[in-house]
Every structure is written in structure tokens, then in C-alpha cells.
């Protein structure tokens, strides 16, 4: 039969595996217990001869499912890239011999580890199939850019250069954004000594002349629907609305300057000569190389003070807790405007301008940041480490010098406040839902709703994308209001597949960083378009063809999969059953972990493909005094950390059996229950860091797993088992010293509380 399952198991003896393990015994385990059609050993499986041996068996029909018992699944991916058959990787090198001592005493348990992993690989492959693309594919090589500032213009130009059609939507009457308000920008090239032209006018001209670019001014997105490869967007301008189809979206909606009116200690609302950095740019633009004059009386300034971190990097109520990234370089640049203008006019007027930058910490990011700072020093800019307690309405600055440890003051002609940036991120739907839930709770209890809740609800926020998503109208936001993106591992990528955030709406940054950000986001947007056309995942499992399906007859329509999906990839059909949007799906399996009746699966990853691995492990009885510990390790951070621990030859317990999972969010509680019922003595789950500074590659997966496992105590109590037998840990990819300790700590715990009473 063409569809008859024929498993081929191939055991490597290279990398010292043949010396440390009994390969013949492993071959026998695969044949007798794994019931494979063919089992072979090879001295160097990843070499050309070994790869050819496997490929020949595939081509001849001798094997149509492959088990490779060699090194980690993260190693030799090019060599073992068999694209026509399912492949299970059994980790004998990093997972066994590199974490066990090479002693006679350890030989028995080391061999037992290897045998179990072979059993697990043979069990897994029986429940794996080659994924096939669904019928949902759509390829639209058109990129929608939302925002016409320097970030959006850069993204549009880069996409057009790559051959893609681009629409750029700007809500104002002109392109340029905040960068268009600048007189000059901080230098972007060596020797990083002087401010340079912003390049905004040149970019606008290039966009206007490019036949691949369509510009919509005075326009907004009134509705966004669809998925990667097939978004449909309504663009409204006044009373006119037109629908544009595109393949991906880049949100480059920029930032707004922090409201200095809230800084009463600096007299901004009272003193005309106390201004913000953007207002200083307007004065410099008006002067255009001539003398800069103060707003109050039009006189040329002679003494200008720049106050850094005005209302930012502060825990005070209403202030910004973060650094805005550009402000120090901006103050140096603006002080240079004054110094350079004074130098140019000194021969005629003899004017010298005193410029003082007051700071607690000076930050000049970028390749040329230090050179720019040194250039400022050479031009006579005074840098003074000080805290500013206040500015009066006559622009007198009161300060404490932190070097001399004394109070002082400066009578300035002009005071420039570095007030920082607030991202234009759109509506914070998660916060809105939270506030409305709190309001409803107070009302249900017949209690007065706190005024701060009512005040926050009353603040109108304009939607930017107007997404037609169950999860809300805009991209999710981080704690400081920036659009959510995985800033450590996957910048630009948001929880809405095919939609990318770039520039200061994603994190604080200057114009050069914004342009680099735009380029990265454009590359991701293009990747999303191309992968969507092939039915492949965009990220982080780029190229994965698998997508979830479910058994309709077993579905209870509980909608937990819809609620827990971090990416808005599941909604309900007209009968209330889940309906999957393949192009939005990231293939994390969070829906699979959420399903209480276990009817959701992927072709190559399922309840059975993991569950059967758990059951395949040989469980010694209690008299053997060999406990079994199950580790479910996230493939993105925890599993690589285990591999790197092995590369450093960090040893851990021989009683552990590790199964990599796509995300801790995909862990279904049935796996834990089955493991404990089968006689495992302890279960360890290792997932990524959760919370506001999460490192979970699937955003909410680790958090969902922690919520589910917080309820596992009830199950343990039902089974009359100790709570200590199940542990959930947040693990970073750098925790190479910690992961062996977590395993050994569980082994010690089991030694103290005793082995499972379920052993037979």
C-alpha cells in the first residue's frame, strides 16, 4: 500500500556515540520495541555516505518516516533536511553522552537514557505526518505603510526598491512627520562631528516620483480585515473611502512630544522662554543659520540651558519612566546650532553663546555617539552633571551640581526641556477591557466607581489600524504604551501576524535607529507576504507548513482555543465551532494546550505525538530506585539552554527524559496527568520568561501555561501526590548553568519525598 507506514531508524556512532553507547542494543530497541521497518547504524550519519543511505531508503520506498538517533534536533539541520517524509530527531549526543560522566558506574544509566530516547523517537514518528498547505493561500505583493514620517517613508522606499507595490497613508497634509520638523539631524556618518541635513525633502521627492508608490495624504485607515497575503483595508479621506488590498502592513505611526504643560516646576506654561526640543527646532529652522532669537522679545540668545530628562526617566505620577533614546544627542545637536552660528557671526558681531547641558546621565547611543559628544566638547559646549529643581518664569534655572555637591543657579535667556516621546500606538484594547471589567465589577457590587477609573475610560484615543479582530482594533501594547513586539528575539513582529511595528511607536529611538527599524520591518513584511503565498508560518517557525485542525465530533464549543490564541488566528463559524485562519497562525500550539477535550492537533505535533513519547519511556519499579523525571522544554529557549549546557559538559541526573515542545503554552494538562499516572516521579516544565518584559516567542504561551499549571495542585491532590512533584520554571536561553541545577533540584526533591506510589 502506498500509505503503509514504514519507519526507518538510523543510529549514529560518530561524535563518540559509538564508544559511549551500545549502538547494536539501540538498533535492537528500535526494531523490537519501536517496531520500525528498518534499523541501521552508521559511523558518521551526517556525512555524505550516511545521508545518502537514508535518502536511498526513502527513494526506494523502504522508509517513509525517519528516526535519526544522533545529535540534537538543533544541529546538522542542513544534512538531515529530508523534505518529503516526517523526521523525528533523537538527541543522543547533547541529551545523553555529553551530560553524563564517562565512568563505569554511569554506563548503565547512560545506556538506559539512550534506549528511552530511541523508544520515544519511534513512538513520536508514528503520530507524525507531512504537513500540507491548506487552501487559504494568497499572495499580494503590496505593502501598506501606515504613517508618513521618516520611518514610514524609509519602509516605503525599501519595499519599492525590492519590487513591491506600496501604499503610504499619512493622516496629515504632508509627509515628513516629526523628522520633517527638524532643522538638522544628528550625524549618521563619520566623523560624526556636525549636524547634517535630515534628508526628508529628498525622500519625499523620491516617493512622489516612484511609480510603485501611492501616497494618501489627509487619510486614515477606517477598517482593516483579512490576513497575511490578503488584507483588505478601507482608506478614508474626508467623505471618500476606497478599499485597497495588500499582503502585509507596517505601522510607523511615530510619536508625540510629551506634554510639558504638566511640568509645573519648569514653568513651561508661564515662561515663553522655556521651550521643548521640537520648539527649539522650529526656532533654528526660522533662523536658517542665522541668529536664534528667544520667543519672549525676539532678542538673540546668549545663554542657553538644556535640561535633560525633563519629565522622563522618572517614577513621578504622570512622568515617563523610560529614556526616550534621542534626547541627549538632540541637545548636543541643538547646542551646536548655537555654537556654529556664533562662530560664523563672531567676526561681525562678536557674539559668543554660552550653552550648558544639565544631565544626571548622558546617553549618546549609536556608532558615532561618543564622537559626537567629543565634538560638542571641542566646540565649547558645557556639560554639567546636575539635577534641576526648578525653572522660574524668567528662565532662571535652579540646580544642584552633583560633582561639587552644591546648589547653584543659572540666569538663562532660553531653557530647552528634553521632554521625551510618547508613542502613537492607537487604542490600548487590553487596558480598555481591564478598566471596563473593573467598572462593571464595582457596579455589580453597588459600589461607587473610583474616579481615576472613570477618568481613564473617558480619555478618547483614536484607533490607527481599526482592525476587524476579536482581540481589538489596534496592536497590543507594552507597559509603557509602545506597540508590542518581541524586542529581544523578534523585533518588529507583533501579535497580529503580517502587521509589523517600526520606529518610535515600537520603542524609543532617534531618526537613524528609526530608519534601521523601518528596513528590518520591511524585510519582515516581505517575508510574511511570500510565506503566506506558500501556506508557511511567518515566524518564529518560519517555513512551517503545519497548521491546527480539530475533530468536530469531539468539540464542545467551549471557545477556550479562541480566547487563549495570542494572535487572533481563531474565530467561530456560524455554528460556533472554531475556524482557523492559517495565515495568522504562528503554529505555537497554544490552542492545543488549551483544549480540554484534546481534539486540536497539527500534522507533525499533537497530543499523541508527545503523549506517546511520555508513555514509551521504560518506568522501573520502586525497588530499582531509579526515578523518572519528565522535562517538557520550550524549543526556543529552554531546549537550546539544555543543549548549550551539554556543550559545556555540565552534568545532570540520568533519570531525566526531555521532550521539546513548541511552546509551554502548547502543554496540555493531560500530558502531566498521564505522566504521573504512568509512574513518573516528577515533572518539570521549562518555558520562557513571562510578564511585561516577556521573552516568550509566542508572547502569551508561557503565561498561559503558568495559569493552567497553577490549578494542577487540585489534580495532584486527587491523585494523593505531593505538589512538589510538578514544577514550572521560567528559563532564558542563557541559563546554561541553571537548567542542570533545576533538574538536579527536582531529583533531590524526589529523593526526599519518595518515589511515586503509581509505580508498578
Q: What is the pLDDT of residues 93-151, one digit of tens each?
A: 999 999 999 999 999 999 999 999 999 999 999 999 999 877 777 789 999 999 999 99
Query: Is 539 part of any domain?
Result: no
Per residue in 416-451, pLDDT (tens digit) is 999 999 999 999 999 999 999 999 999 999 999 999
Q: Of 458, 473, 506, which one is at a domain's C-terminal end?
A: 458
Mean pLDDT of the 568-577 span: 90
How is the beta sheet containing 382-391 ordered, strand by strand?
Answer: 274-276, 414-417, 303-307, 354-359, 382-391, 396-401, 406-411
Domain shared by 493 and 553, yes or no: no
Query: Is 543 part of any domain?
Result: no
Q: Assign residue 333 a region: left if phi > 0, alpha if psi is -120 to 50, beta otherwise?
A: alpha
- Is pLDDT of 235 > 90? yes
pLDDT for the residue 116: 98
Q: What percent of the chain has pLDDT over 90?
A: 83
Domain shared by 287 and 410, yes or no: yes
- For residues 326 and 736, what is the distance between their CA atoms, to the nearest angstrom? 35
Per residue in 654-670, pLDDT (tens digit) is 999 999 999 999 999 99
pLDDT for the residue 459: 87
pLDDT for the residue 356: 97
pLDDT band with cut points at 50, 70 and 90 for residue 348: very low
Q: What is the DSSP string of 28-95?
A: HHHHHTS--SEEEEESSTTSHHHHHHHHHHHHHTS-SEEEEEES-TTSSTTTT--TTS-EEEEE-TTT
Cα–Cα separations (whole angstroms), residue 591 to 550, 559, 587: 10, 10, 9
- Is pLDDT of 591 > 80? yes
Shortest CA distance to 593 belongs to which of 713, 712, 732? 712
Spatial contact of 179 and 511, defined as CB atoms under 8 Å apart: yes
Per residue in 634-646, pLDDT (tens digit) is 999 999 999 999 9
pLDDT for the residue 695: 86
More confident residue, 535 or 343: 535
- Is pLDDT of 760 > 70? no
Average pLDDT, the chain: 93
- Is pLDDT of 1 > 50? no
Spatial contact of 250 and 521, defined as CB atoms under 8 Å apart: yes
Q: Which of 34-38, 185-189, 254-258, 699-703 has the lowest mean pLDDT?
A: 699-703
pLDDT for the residue 345: 56
Domain shared by 701 and 742, yes or no: yes
Domain shared by 216 and 75, yes or no: no
Domain shared by 415 and 269, yes or no: yes
pLDDT for the residue 700: 86
Spatial contact of 150 and 203, defined as CB atoms under 8 Å apart: yes
Domain shared by 418 and 306, yes or no: yes
pLDDT band with cut points at 50, 70 and 90 for residue 540: confident
What is the extent of the structural domain holding 71? 1-130
Whether pTM exceeds 0.85: yes
Domain shared by 390 and 493, yes or no: no
Number of folded domains that form the chain? 6
Q: Of 109, 130, 151, which one is at a domain's C-terminal end?
A: 130
Domain shared by 688 and 739, yes or no: yes
Mean pLDDT of the 219-232 span: 95
Phi, psi at residue 696, to the nearest 5°?
A: -65, 125
Spatial contact of 503 and 464, defined as CB atoms under 8 Å apart: no
Q: What is the DSSP string of 585-650?
A: -----HHHHH-TT--EEBTTB-HHHHHHHHHHS----GGGT---EEEEEETTTHHHHHHHHHHTT-
Could you give the maximum distance between any two Cα atoms of the chain, in Å? 99
Q: What is the DSSP string of 496-557?
A: STTEEE-GGGTS---HHHHHHHHHHHHHHHHHHHHHHHHT---SSSTT-----EE-GGG---
Phi, psi at residue 501, to the nearest 5°?
A: -100, 140
- Is pLDDT of 502 > 60? yes
- Is pLDDT of 393 > 70? yes
Cis peptide bond prior to 540, omega within 30° of 0:
yes
Query: Is 135 part of any domain?
Result: no
Shortest CA distance to 33 belongs to which of 604, 615, 608? 615
Domain shared by 676 and 726, yes or no: yes
Q: Write the CATH number for 330.
A: 3.50.50.60
- For residues 514 and 171, what is the distance between their CA atoms, to the nearest angstrom? 19
Beta bridge partners of 149: 176
Query: Is 659 part of any domain?
Result: yes
Q: Is the dihedral of CA 51, 52, 54, 55 positive or negative?
A: positive
pLDDT band with cut points at 50, 70 and 90 for residue 485: confident
Per residue in 145-165, pLDDT (tens digit) is 999 999 999 999 999 999 999
- Is pLDDT of 484 > 90? no
Q: Write the CATH number for 641.
A: 3.40.50
Query: Is 673 part of any domain?
Result: yes
Domain shared by 83 and 154, yes or no: no
Mean pLDDT of the 7-31 span: 97
- For residues 57 and 715, what is the distance between their CA atoms, to the nearest angstrom? 46
Spatial contact of 632 and 683, defined as CB atoms under 8 Å apart: yes
Domain shared by 440 and 517, yes or no: no
Query: Is 541 part of any domain?
Result: no
Query: Is 613 part of any domain?
Result: no
Beta bridge partners of 571: 579
Domain shared by 182 and 61, yes or no: no
- Is pLDDT of 277 > 60? yes
Mean pLDDT of the 239-264 span: 96
pLDDT for the residue 342: 67
pLDDT for the residue 479: 83
Query: Is 427 part of any domain?
Result: no
**Rg of the chain, C-alpha, whole Å:** 31
Amino acid at each position: 500500500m502506498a500509505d503503509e507506514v514504514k519507519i526507518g531508524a538510523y543510529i549514529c556512532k560518530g561524535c563518540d556515540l559509538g564508544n559511549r553507547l551500545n549502538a547494536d542494543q539501540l538498533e535492537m530497541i528500535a526494531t523490537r520495541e519501536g517496531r520500525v521497518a528498518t534499523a541501521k547504524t552508521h559511523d558518521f550519519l551526517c556525512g555524505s555516505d550516511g545521508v545518502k543511505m537514508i535518502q536511498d531508503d526513502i527513494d526506494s520506498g523502504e522508509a517513509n518516516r525517519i528516526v535519526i538517533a544522533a545529535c540534537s534536533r538543533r544541529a546538522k539541520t542542513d544534512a538531515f533536511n529530508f523534505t518529503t517524509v516526517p523526521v523525528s530527531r533523537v538527541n543522543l549526543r547533547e541529551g545523553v553522552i555529553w551530560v553524563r560522566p564517562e565512568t563505569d558506574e554511569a554506563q548503565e544509566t547512560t545506556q538506559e537514557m539512550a534506549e528511552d530516547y530511541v523508544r520515544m523517537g519511534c513512538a513520536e514518528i508514528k503520530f507524525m505526518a507531512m504537513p500540507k498547505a491548506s487552501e487559504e493561500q494568497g499572495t499580494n505583493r503590496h505593502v501598506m505603510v501606515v504613517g508618513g514620517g521618516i520611518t514610514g517613508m524609509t519602509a516605503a522606499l525599501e519595499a519599492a526598491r525590492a519590487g513591491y507595490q506600496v501604499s503610504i497613508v499619512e493622516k496629515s497634509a504632508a509627509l515628513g512627520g516629526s523628522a520633517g520638523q527638524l532643522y538638522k539631524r544628528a550625524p549618521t556618518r563619520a566623523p560624526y562631528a556636525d549636524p547634517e541635513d535630515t534628508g526628508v525633502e529628498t525622500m519625499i521627492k523620491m516617493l512622489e516620483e516612484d511609480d510603485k508608490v501611492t501616497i494618501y495624504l489627509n487619510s486614515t485607515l477606517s477598517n482593516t480585515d483579512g490576513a497575511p497575503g490578503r488584507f483588505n483595508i478601507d482608506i478614508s479621506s474626508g467623505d471618500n473611502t476606497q478599499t485597497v488590498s495588500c499582503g502585509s502592513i507596517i505601522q510607523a505611526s511615530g510619536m508625540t512630544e510629551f506634554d510639558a504643560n504638566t511640568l509645573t516646576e519648569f514653568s513651561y506654561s508661564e515662561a515663553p522662554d522655556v521651550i521643548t526640543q521640537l520648539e527649539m527646532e522650529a526656532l533654528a529652522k526660522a533662523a536658517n543659520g542665522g541668529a536664534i532669537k528667544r520667543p519672549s522679545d525676539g532678542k538673540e540668545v546668549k545663554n542657553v540651558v538644556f535640561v535633560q530628562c525633563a519629565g522622563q526617566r522618572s517614577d513621578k505620577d504622570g512622568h515617563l519612566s523610560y529614556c526616550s533614546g534621542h534626547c541627549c544627542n538632540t541637545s548636543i545637536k541643538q547646542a551646536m546650532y548655537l555654537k556654529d552660528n556664533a562662530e560664523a557671526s563672531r567676526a561681525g558681531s562678536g557674539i559668543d553663546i554660552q550653552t550648558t547641558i544639565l544631565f544626571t546621565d548622558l546617553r549618546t547611543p549609536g556608532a558615532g555617539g561618543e564622537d559626537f559628544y567629543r565634538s560638542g566638547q571641542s566646540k565649547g559646549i558645557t556639560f554639567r552633571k546636575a539635577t534641576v529643581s526648578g525653572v522660574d518664569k524668567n528662565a532662571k534655572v535652579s540646580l544642584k551640581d552633583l560633582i561639587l555637591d552644591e546648589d547653584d543657579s543659572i540666569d538663562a535667556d532660553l531653557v530647552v526641556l528634553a521632554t521625551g516621546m510618547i508613542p502613537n500606538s492607537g487604542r490600548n484594547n487590553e487596558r480598555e477591557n481591564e478598566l471596563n471589567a473593573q467598572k462593571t465589577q464595582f457596579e455589580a457590587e453597588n459600589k461607587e466607581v473610583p474616579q481615576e477609573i472613570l477618568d481613564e475610560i473617558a480619555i478618547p484615543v483614536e484607533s490607527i489600524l481599526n482592525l476587524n479582530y476579536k482581540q481589538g482594533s489596534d496592536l497590543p501594547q507594552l507597559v509603557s504604551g509602545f506597540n508590542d513586539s518581541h524586542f529581544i528575539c523578534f523585533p518588529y513582529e507583533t501579535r497580529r501576524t503580517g502587521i509589523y511595528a517600526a520606529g518610535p511607536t515600537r520603542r524609543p529611538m532617534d531618526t537613524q535607529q528609526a530608519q534601521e527599524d523601518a528596513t528590518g520591518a520591511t524585510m519582515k513584511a516581505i517575508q510574511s507576504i511570500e510565506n503566506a503565498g506558500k501556506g508557511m508560518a511567518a515566524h518564529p517557525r518560519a517555513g512551517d507548513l503545519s497548521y491546527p485542525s480539530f475533530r468536530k465530533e469531539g468539540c464542545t464549543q467551549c471557545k477556550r482555543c479562541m480566547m487563549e490564541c495570542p494572535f487572533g488566528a481563531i474565530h467561530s463559524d456560524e455554528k460556533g465551532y472554531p475556524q482557523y485562519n492559517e495565515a495568522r497562525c504562528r503554529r505555537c500550539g497554544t490552542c492545543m494546550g488549551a483544549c480540554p477535550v484534546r481534539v486540536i492537533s497539527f500534522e507533525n505535533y499533537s497530543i499523541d505525538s508527545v503523549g506517546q513519547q511520555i508513555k514509551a519511556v521504560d518506568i522501573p519499579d520502586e525497588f530499582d530506585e531509579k526515578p523518572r523525571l519528565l522535562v517538557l522544554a520550550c524549543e526556543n529557549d529552554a531546549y537550546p539552554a539544555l543543549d548549550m549546557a551539554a556543550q559545556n559538559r555540565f552534568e545532570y541526573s540520568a533519570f531525566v527524559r526531555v521532550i521539546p515542545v513548541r511552546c509551554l503554552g502548547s502543554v496540555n494538562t493531560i500530558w502531566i496527568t498521564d505522566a504521573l499516572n504512568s509512574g513518573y516521579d516528577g515533572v518539570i516544565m521549562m518555558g520562557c520568561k513571562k510578564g511585561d518584559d516577556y521573552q516568550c516567542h509566542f508572547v502569551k504561551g508561557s503565561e498561559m501555561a503558568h495559569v493552567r499549571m497553577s490549578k494542577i495542585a487540585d489534580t495532584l491532590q486527587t491523585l494523593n501526590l505531593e505538589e512538589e512533584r510538578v514544577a514550572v520554571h521560567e528559563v532564558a536561553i542563557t541559563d546554561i548553568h541553571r537548567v542542570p541545577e533545576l533538574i538536579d533540584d527536582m531529583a533531590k526533591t524526589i529523593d526526599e519525598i519518595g518515589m511515586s506510589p503509581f509505580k508498578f
